[in-house]
Structure 1
Amino acid sequence: MQAVPSEFLAIDRKERANRPFYDLDLRPADERKCDFGGVVIEFDPERAMVEAARCIHCPDPAPCMVACPTANDIPSAMWLIEQGKFVEAAGIYHKTSSLPEICGRVCPHEALCQGSCVLNKHHTPVLCGELEAFTVDYERRTQGHLISLAVPSGKKVAVIGAGPAGLGCADILLQKGHAVTVFDSKPAPGGLLVYGIPNFKLSKEVWEEKWEEFERAGVKFVPNTYIGKDKTIDQLFAEGFDAVFIGVGSEIDAKMEDTPGTDLPGVYEATDFLIRGNIPMEQLPENMKKPLELGKRVVVVGGGDTASDCLRTALRLGSEEVTCLYRRTEKEMPGGKKDRKMARDEGAKYRFLTQPVKFIAGADGKLAAVECIEMKLGEPDAKGRRKPVPVEGSNFSVAADTAILALGYWPDPIISKTTPELETYNWGLISVKDKATGATSREGVFTGGDCATGPDLVVTAMVGGRKAGRAIDQYLKSK
């Protein structure tokens, strides 16, 4: 942590803690649900300085830093913001994060830095995420940001996947002087950041400006290239790449096994729905260019952040009744509370202890209703979550002309099947020999993010990519 100026020692932490708190300003729900524009009204400089001045600068190690997967030096950034030194504060974030303008928007701050702020005990936490986004936006708009580059090493690295993990890895490799080529199965770079997160949470403009930084640094992007189908990892090595990083995420939608009717017209998987509902036509994969046929009565099955994204997207696309069906209670829901509150404010409804058991067609052969059964919570499972148990004879129907299945994600096994000596676990997740480096069982092949850990956060995927980037640099130097 950077040393805070000596004059701070005279500042009363109690006085700082008692300063008034002003919550985030949001666009009115009735207004924002009519478009895909941002929900949060961004800070202006004065507001940012006032909010940062609430930080009481805990002694090392500050809980917010410990809770941040990137270990951002948040107290030092708060001090700089308070002084109006926004560009210098942005530099603090760039030291430990490859995607600060994105993490500042999409991280579940209430569960990480803000959730660990000591002000939670008797006051309200500092809005760390919004301040992170503000400083990096300010820097970009006033002077821009360049990835620092080293003298070219002559080494080439193939990065598979243009999402958070791949970008984190590419960022480090560029700073070490290595040439980076990013391969992705989609027409545009970004991975989850573009094809998974709706515009109202992360605008395409913010992402496009971020991607320009990578292009200026010399990254080469190869679109529409599905590694494992169009080209193998062995072929990448044969083409002259000295190392390979796998950061393809975990993007295969989980299925409702043995549930009749999931193949009916009107039943969508979450990935298909979110991509077609949020992405411009020119960036859509060829197999997703058919327009969505969305009805007025929509049900979303699942309880994570993806379910919230689907609920809010359906409302913006004009659906009138949008309901989440979840088999446990709200207490057990894995998704963020903040997103659920926004979804409710925008008109989404929730029905708990409800499990779909059949999707029913109408006279036209399309979805007309979802048969459900009531659930009750039984004994805790191995992870401590109470298992949902069906209530016999409690079946009922919910009218719906569209259903979206947001049940979680599985890894794509195609790379492991086409790469000799690459070990996997848990139905296709890539095994790592050393979690600190991301090294796999195959020499010269490294991994990180959701394809190695299973579905997790943008920030943890990015951190995994950065760790692998450093390890690849050491590997290349040792060759």
Structure 2
Amino acid sequence: MEEMAEKLKLNRVEMPKQSPEKRRSNFEEVALGYTPEQAALEANRCIQCKKPKCVEGCPVGVNIPEFILALRDGDMPGAALSLKGKNSLPGICGRVCPQEVQCESRCVLGKKGAPIAIGRLERFVADWERVTKKCPPCELLPPSGKSAAVVGSGPAGLTCAADLARMGHKVTIFEALHEGGGVLVYGIPEFRLPKGIVRSEIEYVKSLGAELELDSVVGKQVQIDELLKGGYDAVFLGIGAGAPRFLNVPGENLSGIYSANEYLTRVNLMKAYKFPDYDTPIKKGKKVAVVGGGNVAMDAARSALRLGADEVHIIYRRSREEMPARLEEVENAMEEGVIFDFLTNPTRFLGDHRGMVNAMEVVEMELGEPDASGRRSPRVKKGSEHIVNVDTVVIAVGTVPNPLITSSTPELKATKWGTLVVDERGRTTMEGVWAGGDITTGGATVISAMGAGKIAAADIDHWLRKNGKWSES
């Protein structure tokens, strides 16, 4: 009996998902979530450490043992309240947060076996609350008489807005697009993050008192200093890094070559995957190459398969060990039939008489010494050039911030990469303005952006309640 108990402690309960054969032809969610019985079994693995290190690995400070204990004891409202006390977007985080390198990497069970499936339990509790609506309301502080403008409704903005609203401040979120969610709706496919989940969690943030204004482009329709002069006491910038990077090689402007931003926006936000209900133009290639090795590259490649491609290749200049994508996403892509061309890099693209891409020249790479990122630097193998036939290419090699805000607001200091300069509290170089997320770090994770939004909200609250002067707080 003791041996069986020990075995249960070491082996996590696997979460069911669609078979590769079925899911590669639909955009429905791949991971199906735990059943109540599976969630209870996994929660029972938690040994309730007296000094839990898992909490240290959570950028938003969720009390992980507390919500798991409530789940284990059958107190689902208590589990949901514990989660939402720190995380206003648990249904999103439970799906896309890289728990394996954060909270789960600190779990003591991981020393001998598998760590607790914290993200999967978070998803289970969040989905239960979304369906039942039985979570007790979070405490809201009395109105402070202060107001804040939050620019951007991605993970950083939503988190900052939710925390400020709970603290009693009047909050307005300005979103440039026609739908809230930022990268959560335009960048992450339905099969990984259903948009109904995003909309539900935005509604939750609004229920705390935050207002959402869509089709509002700050930096163009209204300037930041106009917000501060027009009644807002503080501004938070969570506008992400939505401008694509390119390879800067010959032929990159041929038709049929997309940035990952454009490709995924057409598929997700503009719902090209729902043709003919949504007649969004997108090239449904038969032989598709996706250049890059991150989660965005996996999303683009897996979307291309679902749009009907016969063959999809990931072109990555390093080896599998250096890939920044989550292991789960790489494994899902491989199961679905995506082909990985490691140690390969494009040098130019070739087109036909109509200006459509029909081939690319690539070179083979080999790994040298580690670079500044800690990954081994790739270098070209001489004489390895060869031609590969393709009819669609997606460039997924990262993003940079849109320069609209910095170009229209000279008081905001930016780095040479276009990211905003902030201190450890999220304060920018312009008094009364904070920033967080990808606009300050470049492309990073959803949960790191949320952590930045949370840090900034705490400092904004302190600043507003103290005296509202940069030099005195």
Using the size of structure 1 for normalisation, the TM-score is: 0.92
Pick from 367, 376, 383: which aligns with 2:366? 376
What amino acid sits opposite 2:14 in the alignment?
Answer: D
8 Å contact 2:257–2:392 — kept in the other structure? Answer: yes
1:415 aligns with 2:405: yes
Deviation at 1:380, TM superposition (A): 2.1
What amino acid sits opposite 1:449 in the alignment?
Answer: G
Indicate the SS of the match to 1:322.
strand
Return 408-417 or 262-271, whichever deviates more: 408-417
Per the alignment, residue 292 of structure 1 pairs with 282
Deviation at 1:166, TM superposition (A): 0.4
What amino acid sits opposite 1:465 in the alignment?
Answer: G
> CA, structure 1 residues 14+174, in 2 after alignment: closer, same or farther (shift >3 Å)?
farther
Matches within 5 A, 1:334-373: 334-373=324-363
Query: Gaps spanning 5+ residues in structure 2: where?
Result: 468-473
Deviation at 1:405, TM superposition (A): 0.1
Indicate the SS of the match to 2:145.
coil
Per the alignment, residue 324 of structure 1 pairs with 314
1:107 aligns with 2:78: no
1:175 aligns with 2:166: yes
Pick from 18, 22, 32: which aligns with 2:13? 22
Q: State the distance in 1 between where 2:178 and 2:403 align.
A: 21
Indicate the SS of the match to 1:96.
coil
Indicate the SS of the match to 1:424.
coil
Per the alignment, residue 401 of structure 1 pairs with 391
Matches within 5 A, 1:60-209: 60=51, 62-145=52-135, 146=137, 148-209=139-200
Indicate the SS of the match to 2:216.
coil
Deviation at 1:225, TM superposition (A): 2.2
Per the alignment, residue 55 of structure 1 pairs with 46
1:450 aligns with 2:459: no
Q: State the distance in 1 between where 2:169 and 2:279 align.
A: 36
The alignment yields a C-alpha RMSD, in angstroms, of: 2.1
Per the alignment, residue 219 of structure 1 pairs with 210
Indicate the SS of the match to 2:340.
strand
8 Å contact 1:266–1:294 — kept in the other structure? Answer: no
> CA, structure 1 residues 165+421, in 2 after alignment: closer, same or farther (shift >3 Å)?
same
Indicate the SS of the match to 1:358.
strand
Indicate the SS of the match to 1:154.
coil
Deviation at 1:57, TM superposition (A): 2.1
Deviation at 1:13, TM superposition (A): 11
8 Å contact 1:370–1:400 — kept in the other structure? Answer: yes
Deviation at 1:17, TM superposition (A): 5.7
What amino acid sits opposite 2:197 in the alignment?
Answer: V
Return 289-298 or 43-52, whichever deviates more: 289-298
Q: State the distance in 2 between where 1:18 and 1:130 align.
A: 17
Return 219-228 or 392-401, whichever deviates more: 219-228
Deviation sequence 1:255-310 (CA, Å, 0-9, x none): 112x011111100000100010122459x9xxx98510121000000001100001
What amino acid sits opposite 1:408 in the alignment?
Answer: G
Pick from 298, 301, 304: which aligns with 1:314? 304
Deviation at 1:319, TM superposition (A): 0.8
> CA, structure 1 residues 431+17, in 2 after alignment: closer, same or farther (shift >3 Å)?
farther
Deviation at 1:383, TM superposition (A): 3.5
Pick from 439, 448, 456: which aligns with 1:460? 448
Per the alignment, residue 8 of structure 1 pairs with none
What amino acid sits opposite 1:470 in the alignment?
Answer: A
8 Å contact 1:107–1:457 — kept in the other structure? Answer: yes
Deviation at 1:354, TM superposition (A): 0.5
Q: State the distance in 1 between where 2:392 and 2:158 align.
A: 35
Deviation sequence 1:224-283 (CA, Å, 0-9, x none): 2222222210111222111110011111111112x011111100000100010122459x
8 Å contact 2:235–2:433 — kept in the other structure? Answer: yes
Indicate the SS of the match to 1:244.
strand
8 Å contact 1:17–1:123 — kept in the other structure? Answer: no
What amino acid sits opposite 1:200 in the alignment?
Answer: F
Q: State the distance in 2 between where 1:365 and 1:116 align.
A: 52
What amino acid sits opposite 1:175 in the alignment?
Answer: R
What amino acid sits opposite 2:190 in the alignment?
Answer: N
Q: State the distance in 2 between where 1:72 and 1:151 align.
A: 24
Deviation sequence 1:321-367 (CA, Å, 0-9, x none): 00000011111111111101000111101001101011110233211
Deviation at 1:58, TM superposition (A): 2.4
Deviation sequence 1:86-123 (CA, Å, 0-9, x none): 22112221122121111111111222222332222322
Deviation sequence 1:120-144 (CA, Å, 0-9, x none): 2322222111101111221222235
> CA, structure 1 residues 14+459, in 2 after alignment: closer, same or farther (shift >3 Å)?
farther
Q: State the distance in 2 between where 1:134 and 1:117 align.
A: 19
Using the size of structure 2 for normalisation, the TM-score is: 0.93
Query: Gaps spanning 5+ residues in structure 1: where?
Result: 1-11
Indicate the SS of the match to 2:85.
helix
What amino acid sits opposite 2:265 in the alignment?
Answer: I
Q: State the distance in 1 between where 2:463 and 2:312 align.
A: 51
Indicate the SS of the match to 1:51.
helix
Q: State the distance in 1 between where 2:143 and 2:453 align.
A: 21
Per the alignment, residue 247 of structure 1 pairs with 238
> CA, structure 1 residues 13+431, in 2 after alignment: closer, same or farther (shift >3 Å)?
farther
> CA, structure 1 residues 414+301, in 2 after alignment: closer, same or farther (shift >3 Å)?
same
8 Å contact 1:87–1:138 — kept in the other structure? Answer: no
Per the alignment, residue 441 of structure 1 pairs with 429
Identity among equivalent pairs (%): 40
Deviation sequence 1:443-469 (CA, Å, 0-9, x none): 110111111122211111011111111
8 Å contact 1:87–1:136 — kept in the other structure? Answer: no
Indicate the SS of the match to 2:54.
helix
8 Å contact 1:17–1:119 — kept in the other structure? Answer: no
Aligned length: 461
Deviation sequence 1:153-186 (CA, Å, 0-9, x none): 2222111100000011101110111111111211
Deviation sequence 1:20-40 (CA, Å, 0-9, x none): 543111111111111111111
What amino acid sits opposite 1:453 in the alignment?
Answer: T
8 Å contact 2:88–2:205 — kept in the other structure? Answer: no
Q: State the distance in 1 between where 2:416 and 2:78 align.
A: 43
Pick from 392, 395, 402: which aligns with 2:382? 392
1:333 aligns with 2:323: yes
What amino acid sits opposite 1:220 in the alignment?
Answer: E
